[in-house]
Chains A and B, each alone.
Chain A
Amino acid sequence: MQPNHIEALLEVADDSLVLGQRLCEWCGHAPTIEVDLSLSNLALDLIGQATLLLDYAGEREGQGRDADRLAFHRDAEAFRNSMLVEQPNGDFARTVMRHFLFAAYANPLFEALTSSPDARLAEIAAKSIKELRYHLEYATDWLERLGQGTEESHRRVAEAYDWHWRFVDDLFFDSEAWKSGAESGLWPLRAQLRPAFDETLNAGLARAGLAEPKPVWPIVGGRLGKHSEHLSSLLATMQVLPRAHPEATW
């Protein structure tokens, strides 16, 4: 695997890591105990997937960095996640919409990765896809419930869609690193995943009774290490302990 392929691997791993960390913020704060458990479980899945991917990236890099090292000892500009996943949780509708958009993208991506000629990547994807299918179902169910619920819940989820829509192009951004891996046949271009995403999106929106979002200027840059200010504060919380005690074990 070439150095820029490892960089591309971080794009996938960091999406899972950052979204997993975000979801952890709901623990103890969710609208009901069932939702609290659900969001924590989704977070666990994502952090588990990130751990496998980061460990693999570290091994291929060959500089002795493991998942913990990569998660806790990189600064924001070294992160390759999309800006969508670093967005603050907002209200529950925003969290649901963010998760729906992410899962609608991640499902065709991981499905494609299961047939990557890179055997390790393929087996990580095969393990993860089983979990991600559940994520999409869960998010779609809640999307429908909010969209078809009360006037208030509909207003909130429509607003969430308006807000998150601007980051969808960033999710699908094909960086040079990603393109290089695609040319080597490791994975498809993200642009090729867009039709599957659009299909899931339209089906979900129809169930929820949601209209097209307001036109917005798309914001891109996450895959290049250009992030919103929100990532730094998320990382500060996530990284403070291992950075304060770098050699600590327990």
Chain B
Amino acid sequence: MADMAPRDLSQQIAEVLARVPDPEIPVVSIVDLGIVRDIGHDANGSWVSLTPTYTGCPATAVIKQATRDALDQGGLGHVDLRIVLSPAWSTDMITEDGREKLRRYGIAPPEPASPEVACPRCGSRQTAEVSRFGSTPCKALWRCLACHEPFDRFKCH
């Protein structure tokens, strides 16, 4: 794809990445979650850098493989895949779009500014933490005191 301008190529790579779902929360893509750090080009071709959410997150290996497969099938030539740790991933890197998708999926998105957590089902802020650890490293278990439903909350990290 040497004849394509880097800007167009970056755009095409970004489109491919936007279709790679998070293996544990498939409604959001790795772009929504802020796992894709950067896209660039150098003398050896294009590259994509990814950053893990949690050091021990078992999804990281799956994400890397899924991204590799998506890029290989994208027909964009060789794209190098890099893992970067710094700056450390934080929930601030989740996009607005990603937050909305999480909410609609029934997961309260992280809201660093607010001490209250809104129920993703009924919107009530009368909620309580059940357990600081949930079904995956990134989530805590909460329940709504208004509609009485339990829900996952994406932990601020």
Q: List residues of A whose CB falls within 8 A of some B CB.
A: 20, 34, 37-38, 40-49, 51-52, 122-124, 126-128, 130-131, 134, 137-138
Given A44-B137, A127-B85, A38 and B55 contact (CB-CB distance below 8 Å): no
B residues less than 8 Å from A48 (CB atoms) = 52, 54-57
Is the C-beta of B28 less than 8 angstroms from some C-beta in chain A?
no
A126 to B90, CA, bound (A): 11
List B contacts of A123 (CB < 8 A).
85-86, 88
Contacts of B58 in A (CB 8 A): 44
Contacts A126-B86, A134-B132 supplied; 8 other A-B pairs, CB < 8 Å: A37-B133, A42-B133, A45-B137, A46-B56, A49-B56, A51-B56, A127-B55, A130-B90
Q: CB-CB < 8 A to A127: which residues of B?
A: 52, 55, 85-86, 88-89
Give Cα A137–Cα B55 distance, bound, in whole angstroms: 18
A-B contact pairs, 11 of them (CB 8 A): A20-B56, A37-B134, A37-B141, A40-B133, A44-B56, A48-B55, A123-B85, A127-B86, A128-B55, A131-B55, A137-B132
Q: Is B56's CB under 8 angstroms from A126's CB?
A: no
Whether B131 contacts A52 by the Cβ 8 Å rule is no
Contact A44-B132, Cβ < 8 Å, known A52-B85, A123-B86: no
Closest to B51 in A: A127
A97 to chain B, nearest CB (A): 19
Dominant secondary structure of chain B at its interface with chain A: loop
| Other-chain contact of A138, B55, B85, B132, B135 (Cβ < 8 Å) | B132
Decide: A126 and B87 in contact? CB cutoff 8 A.
yes
Least Cβ distance of B54 to chain A in Å?
Answer: 6
Q: In the bound complex, do residue A51 and residue B132 qualify as a contact, i.e. CB atoms below 8 Å apart?
A: no
Instruction: Give the residues in chain A near B135, CB-CB below 8 Å.
Output: 37
- Judging by beta carbons under 8 Å apart, are B55 and A52 in contact? yes
Determine the chain A residues whose CB is within 8 A of the CB of B133 once the complex forms.
34, 37-38, 40-42, 138
In the bound complex, do residue A126 and residue B88 qualify as a contact, i.e. CB atoms below 8 Å apart? Answer: yes
Q: Which residues of A are found within 8 Å of B87, using beta-carbon distances? A: 126
Task: Return A82 CB to nearest CB of chain B, in Å.
Answer: 20
